[in-house]
Amino acid sequence: MQALIPTCALVDGALREDVAVLVDGARIAGVVPAGAIPAGAEPRRLDGTLVPGFIDTQVNGGGGVLFNDAPTVEGIAAIGAAHRRFGTTGFLPTLISDDLDVIRRAVAAVDAAIAAGIPGVLGIHVEGPFLNVDRKGIHSAEKIRPLDAEGIAALTGLTRGRTLVTLAPERVAVSDIEQLVAAGVVVAAGHTNARYDQAKAAVAAGMRGVTHLFNAMSPLGSREPGMVGAALDSDALVCGLIVDGHHVNPATLRLALRCKPASGFMLVTDAMPSVGSEASEFVLQGRHITVKDGACRSDDGTLAGSHLDMAAAVRNAVSMLGVDLATAVTMASTSPAALMGLGDRHGRIATGHAADLVLLDAAGWVRETWIGGA
């Protein structure tokens, strides 16, 4: 057993000094005072702040690999390795709108990756194709389709890990949402023109997430609150935030944070292949994408995912949104774990939880990352 003794550690939502985190294999065996390390434990002092590992529920790619182009175990491993450098210890490879055959291949690849022990893979995020074409963003209109029995079968095929599905609630039947939820799928709204009442009906049916709040969704209005209004008005929904200074004005995000507790928000990257790579351009479903000034855009200027990593998202939450480090990490670790139903073993430094940890320096840069104690 190893005793990690950092300068301070984030425990129970607060930064604490003079503590030791006991790691026994892949699990945290306990959190004790630094002066009360049990006999036989190997002490290791760490210069920095130890926090729970970041969990990113929206990872389109990384390390030069796009999941849509490489729905394979090897592709998933490459994406995970690229993001691990930035403190991501758990992630959902994310497939944007594509054919059902590609969805089935992606689900099978994630299943195999988890079985093979690829570090950090917690499941899959299928973003589309059951969206509203009027809010498609960078998604291909040709790929968007209605949800039917064949689609539900494809979305419920994962046997290991968690499945997150982004759909437009106004484009699917309430009974379809209920069926997905009953099968263990976490349903989120995104790329949607839903009215407030349609969004609330989806919440009543079990929808629990909102994909990239404010982007590609019906806005908050004076007489029609839209999807944004429903997201901010419902404590049942956890809203994903892309804090890169490009997707949403920081002032808008600061206003959102005043509407409900930080536990109702989670940081996501929406990362593209450029993260962890030197590439300044890539191709997304036939469209040329350029990476410039920290943003990924198509030739017509449409945002295409992001060039954001989770450590940068945490730093940006502190600098742009004015939250403290503990709150930023809660949104990067605890909130996504809770949304995915993994809060009993991920997202916190606590006894019995996975030893998924990140050591940050004083400026919030990653010094070291552990996944399952390694």
Please check whether residue 70 is in contact with residue 35, taking contact to mean a CB–CB distance below 8 angstroms.
no
Task: Tell me which residue of 240, 76, 213, 52 sits closest to 158, measured CA to CA.
Answer: 76
Establish whether 270 is a catalytic residue. Answer: yes
- Walk along the chain (374 residues) and give the pLDDT tens digit of each residue: 999 999 999 999 999 999 999 999 999 999 999 999 999 999 999 999 999 999 999 999 999 999 999 999 999 999 999 999 999 999 999 999 999 999 999 999 999 999 999 999 999 999 999 999 999 999 999 999 999 999 999 999 999 999 999 999 999 999 999 999 999 999 999 999 999 999 999 999 999 999 999 999 999 999 999 999 999 999 999 999 999 999 999 999 999 999 999 999 999 999 999 999 998 999 999 999 999 999 999 999 999 999 999 999 999 999 999 999 999 999 999 999 999 999 999 999 999 999 999 999 999 999 999 999 99
Instruction: Please report, in range form, the residues annotated as the binding site for Zn(2+).
Output: 127, 191, 212
* Candidates 176, 270, 309, 356; catalytic one: 270
Taking the chain, what is the end-to-end CA distance rounded to the nearest angstrom?
12
CATH placement of domain 54-346: 3.20.20.140
SS3 358: strand
What is the reported pLDDT for 25? 97
CA dihedral (326, 365, 215, 321) in degrees, to 10, reads: 50
- With tokens 């940050």, the residue in question is 360
Spell out the domain ranges in the chain: 2-51+359-370, 54-346
Prediction pTM value: 0.97
What is the reported pLDDT for 215? 98
What is the rounded CA–CA span in Å between residue 154 and residue 135?
Answer: 23
What is the reported pLDDT for 68? 98
What is the reported pLDDT for 180? 98
Q: What share of the chain is helix, strand, coil (3-state, %, to 5)?
A: 30, 30, 40
Total Cβ atoms within 10 A of residue 233: 16
Q: Residues 6 or more apart from 112 whose CB is under 8 A from it?
A: 73
The distance of Cα 323 from the centroid of its chain, to the nearest Å, equals 19
DSSP letters spanning 168-184: -GGGS-HHHHHHHHHTT
Instruction: Please report, in range form, the residues annotated as the binding site.
Output: 127, 138, 191, 212, 215-216, 223, 247, 303-305
What is the reported pLDDT for 274? 97
H helices of the chain, where?
Answer: 73-84, 100-115, 149-155, 174-182, 196-204, 226-233, 250-257, 310-321, 325-329, 335-339
